[in-house]
A and B are shown apart, each in its own frame.
Chain A
Amino acid sequence: AQKVTQAQTEISVVEKEDVTLDCVYETRDTTYYLFWYKQPPSGELVFLIRRNSFDEQNEISGRYSWNFQKSTSSFNFTITASQVVDSAVYFCALSGESRYSGAGSYQLTFGKGTKLSVIP
């Protein structure tokens, strides 16, 4: 079974501080995909990034960066110089081929989410 753990339930930071959201995953699939989604108060999940299990290169996109470490099964997300608009719930998710339904099904397993509040 797959599992995603986001140990931080809620984090509060003051604007312009850096913040790292932790994500630890468990899977027996050899090929899998990791994702981060943002859920603002409106409720819609906004896709941020996808990372393949065979690509451990870290990625930076503006103020966002992601650190994927296969050795520790972690996929952490850092926001640099946080802004009020970053306030949201952030979800880490994992997908891999379903062993029970055969090829082609890559359902997402989500962590419980981390609620980030950026205080002005």
Chain B
Amino acid sequence: KAGVTQTPRYLIKTRGQQVTLSCSPISGHRSVSWYQQTPGQGLQFLFEYFSETQRNKGNFPGRFSGRQFSNSRSEMNVSTLELGDSALYLCASRASSYNEQFFGPGTRLTVL
């Protein structure tokens, strides 16, 4: 089975721009979660989607949003980028709530 894939792998943007990141879960997995990893804050939960519905959201401003499509693929969007948004964004999928999450390789976003 193919693993979780994320595109693009690297992105460079400037302040004020917006960005969309994409995640394709493992086939058959209906839950997709997003995490932000920074040196200062570590790994922090952004949100989780299950069957196209946002099931939970972390403590992030409204500039961070996401969605999930009927094929379980997910996108996250960050609007009005700030320097502090520079991070590794990781996507994870799982078969159900009780199962372990499998992570993709991440998208490294740099905001200049």
A interface with B by C-beta (< 8 Å): 33, 35, 37, 42-47, 50, 91, 93, 98, 100-101, 104-113
Chain B residues lying within 8 Å of A107, measured Cβ to Cβ, are 33, 45, 48, 56, 58
Q: How many residues of B contact A (CB 8 A)?
A: 26
13 chain-A/chain-B pairs, Cβ below 8 angstroms:
A43-B105, A43-B108, A44-B105, A44-B106, A46-B103, A93-B43, A98-B56, A105-B56, A107-B33, A108-B92, A110-B44, A111-B42, A113-B42
Encoded as 1 (CB less than 8 Å from any A CB) or 0, chain B from 46 to 62 comes to 00101000011110000
Q: Is the CB of A105 within 8 A of B42?
A: no
Task: Give the 5 A-B residue pairs with the shortest CB-CB distance, closest first.
Answer: A105-B56, A45-B103, A110-B43, A101-B56, A107-B45
A43 to B90, CA, bound (A): 9
Check B55–A109 contact: CB distance below 8 A: no
Which of the candidate stretches B13-21, B78-86, B93-101 sits at the interface with the other chain?
B93-101
Q: How far is the CA of A46 from the CA of B103 in the complex (A)?
A: 7
Across the interface, do A47 and B101 meet the contact criterion of CB distance under 8 Å?
A: yes
Number of A-B contacts (CB under 8 A): 58
B35 to chain A, nearest CB (A): 7
A112 to B88, CA, bound (A): 15
- The residue that B35 contacts in the complex, of A35, A46, A108, with Cβ under 8 A, is A108
Interface centre among B44, B56, B88, by most A CB within 10 Å?
B56
**Given pairs A100-B56, A107-B58, A109-B45, 6 additional interface contacts (CB within 8 A):** A43-B106, A101-B55, A101-B56, A101-B57, A108-B35, A110-B43
Which residues does chain B contribute within 8 Å of A109, judged by CB atoms?
45
Asked whether, in the complex, the Cβ of A108 is within 8 Å of the Cβ of B56, the reply is no
Identify the closest chain A residue to B35 (Cβ).
A108
Establish whether residues A91 and B43, one from each chain, have CB atoms under 8 Å apart when the complex forms.
Answer: yes
Please indicate the chain A residues that have their CB under 8 angstroms from the CB of B48 in the complex.
105, 107
In the assembled complex, the CB of B10 is this many whole angstroms from the nearest CB of chain A, namely 11
Instruction: Say if the beta carbon of B66 comes within 8 Å of chain A.
Output: no
Q: Does B102 contact A (CB under 8 A)?
A: yes
